[in-house]
Structure 1
């Protein structure tokens, strides 16, 4: 009986399911405790101009996501575990402590960036996990070592921060993360990458448990920077490993395109808001409410409906690209992606025009600029009057 049970639990599919359920259960059990401690210690996020919420809310949901993911993963010693997986856990730990400190005390953006560079460098340099082949996109195949290292670090930082930027309404970052981790995890399981499959299942279970509270009215919690940093790092790890594994015979030719499509919402949204900020002569890192999820909320949609629309786009486009991937070249797929980006921007423009949406953060900034201009004009007038009086 015991032998049969052990054999049953040694099946990779069973381990994936058990890890998912265990991580979900642990997260659901941990979050109420975190909420109570946050309220007792006043570790709450105050509503601000950019907030889509009007109530003080705990922001330490990332602690539960971290705990659920780690315990779900360490339930087993999966076949094929390598130095890469150990370094990935080390990177997650670095970002966990960085995120907790930022959620409680707030740290400088430069320090957060350095933590992301350190965490990504562990797996990129330490485990040689690099994007070293662009599969013929724009005629490019092999990439020199140094450039591939810098390029992969850039991807880790860009995608991690893209996940952070879409964490603006209930369920969106968690929902996109859940979909992406399940897609990548399924591929890893089918291709005998059991450690990553179990990690993806553990992350999926934790996000599932977190989303239940993220949508709650009475027990709401945010994932905070702790959750978004970990989520962004792990999803980027999955995407880069997916691309890295799809080299050689029998590989998915347009693996980089598929990885982008799975994460299309954070990528497109980040590109769009950065372009708008630069066109408005502001820093691309200037916070505002020009994100697509803010625009959808301005249309009168609930957080749940806006999240469902954006998650639905992710699922739909992933399905379409999986169907057409054998009918088009990688370069043609890239052209389709570029066209989709223009369509995405045009739809956002139509939605803004429909309700005459004005970013309140921009309005506040313009008001501050007007106040400074008026103060400067008054000062110049006083100086002119003083010169006239002296003459």
Structure 2
């Protein structure tokens, strides 16, 4: 028999979708009137002025659905999560409108993450025997949890480089988390959060496909990254309870990581390339996976489709081989990504292509 929580999940999805979908045209109109554009430059791919602040619509759709359908009295972390989410969105809006230095953005992100981790006490408390480590000391747990949130936020921020990509990566991760939370059968509130985000992103996607009418901006990518990071830690800690274990406990970290493995892999890869070339890891370039696909002549949307399909493949591999534990699953995922990157590199070298297919 289907319970009320299932209906709340469905309603949350469509409510977030509707609010976001209906809000975006208004934001586009305001952005054009106030000239709030993402202007083209030599390091960007788009060739025309495109309104930003699409992330504000995602934020509004998500928050409305979350507030309306989540049972706050059963969800002890929600007040801290909401406070942090508001801070993240304010940082993103300010960066989209007037610009913020990387240092100021990092300070704001650390503060927002600290609210959830320290005051909300939502922490990664175990390494699940990775490197032979189980339970983490409190201070290490706090530092590592804040670091994890920052990494995931910036992974989604950096992958937001072509039409629909960050949106699609967010949809894949949030849907995967939503399904997993629902399957635990313990507490459906996390599933409502996940599907609220998925609904908001689906509502945004129509306006972000080529030709894009609006970008999500830092507001959107940071909000998406923060929500995904929150869900990932919730997933890890939810599986510390015996009643909710649905996988081998020692495979949980890689299961969670597989839902966002592609953005994380791309983040680490480009940082390593920049450091290898004696450049700041925070200085933007055109070495991301989506840039490689554009160099092969693929369109924005087909590049997004390829990477989305690949992200789904990684999740499928992790779920298929989860019984083999973290090390083997991690090796499978990393080897698959490296092989994919190597193939792209060979194709680019063979074709002699170096310019991007900008749209």
Q: What band does the TM-score fall into relative to the shorter chain?
A: over 0.9
Unaligned 5+ segments in structure 1 are 1-7, 361-391
2:77 aligned counterpart, secondary structure: helix
> How many angstroms does 1:190 deviate by?
2.4
Alignment of 1:71-110 (within 5 A): 71-78=64-71, 81-110=74-103
Counterpart for residue 205 of structure 2: 211
State the match for 1:367 in structure 2.
Answer: none
Report deviation, 1:321.
Answer: 1.6
Give the alignment partner of residue 264 of structure 1, picking from 261, 269, 273.
261
Deviation string, structure 1 residues 249-274 (Cα, Å, up to 9, x no partner): 44532111111111111111111111
Contact 2:149–2:229 under 8 Å retained in 1: yes
CA contact (8 A) 1:87 1:126 kept: yes
Q: Say if 2:140 is the partner of 1:144.
A: no
TM-score, normalisation: structure 1: 0.85
Per-residue CA deviations over 1:222-251 (Å, capped at 9, x if unaligned) read 000000111000001111111112225445
Q: Which moved more, 1:20-29 or 1:73-82?
A: 73-82
The answer on whether the counterparts of 1:272 and 1:345 sit within 8 Å (CA) in structure 2 is no
User: Is this contact kept in 2: 1:159–1:236, CA < 8 A?
Assistant: yes
Identify which of 145, 148, 159 aligns with 1:155. Answer: 148
Displacement of 1:31 in angstroms is: 0.6
Contact residue 99 and residue 226 of structure 1 kept, 8 A: yes
Aligned length: 350
Structure 2 Cα separation of the partners of residues 80 and 303 of structure 1? 44
Q: Which deviates more, 159-168 or 236-245? A: 236-245
Report the 3-state secondary structure (helix = DSSP H, G, I; strand = E; otherwise coil) of the residue aligned with 1:277.
helix
Pick one of 98, 110, 114 that aligns with 2:107: 114
Matches within 5 A, 1:1-391: 11-78=4-71, 81-191=74-184, 192-217=186-211, 220-247=213-240, 249=242, 250=245, 252=247, 253=249, 254-326=251-323, 328-358=324-354
Instruction: Output one character per residue of 1:286-308: Cα deviation in whole Å (capped at 9) or x when no partner.
Output: 11011110110111111111111
Name the SS for the 1:26 alignment partner: helix
Q: Is the 8 A contact 2:210 2:301 kept in 1?
A: no
Superimposed CA distance per residue, residues 53-74 of structure 1 (whole angstroms, 9 cap, x where no aligned partner): 1110011100100000011111
Deviation at 1:149, TM superposition (A): 1.0
How many angstroms does 1:78 deviate by?
A: 2.0
The 8 Å contact of residues 153 and 224 in structure 2, kept in 1 or not, is answered as yes
Please give the root-mean-square deviation of Cα atoms over the aligned residues, in Å. 1.8
